Amino acid sequence: MDENQRGFSQLDPSFSAPSLSASLPGGVRGADVGFAQVVEFENSAPKTLGAKEEAIRKQLGLSPIRYYQLLNIAIDMPEIIEKFPVLTARLRRIRDSREQQRVSRRSSSSSFSQ
């Protein structure tokens, strides 16, 4: 967990996103959306990317980038993990797998340039 996210683990899951915006990358502000609402949306969101991005904008009033920032923080919060154990485990597994793929690509591409 990086330095910016570490402090969020003790927050109430109903805490609204705008009050956190100063600590998030770029200080981006979104609608007054709580962490639990973001995770609930993810649980029932459309599966196709275009439809999901449109639903994020319409239903939550957030940009997709902001939505994924909040979702990434939320899935590490103990209160959210307790409320959505299966979903948060799956999302953390996907996130960790993608991070591992990025690290592997970086290390393999740097070995070619030596």
pLDDT in tens, the chain (114 residues): 444 444 444 445 454 444 444 344 434 344 457 999 999 999 999 999 899 999 999 999 999 999 999 999 999 999 999 999 999 999 999 999 999 999 998 888 766 555
Spatial CA neighbour of 36 closest among 57, 65, 16: 16
**pLDDT computed for residue 112 by the predictor:** 58
Classify each residue of 3-30 as buried b or exposed e, where b means 16 or more C-beta atoms within 10 Å of its C-beta: eeeeebeebebeeebeebbeebeeeeeb
Q: 9 — phi, psi (to 5°)?
A: -65, -20
**pLDDT computed for residue 89 by the predictor:** 97
**pLDDT computed for residue 33 by the predictor:** 77
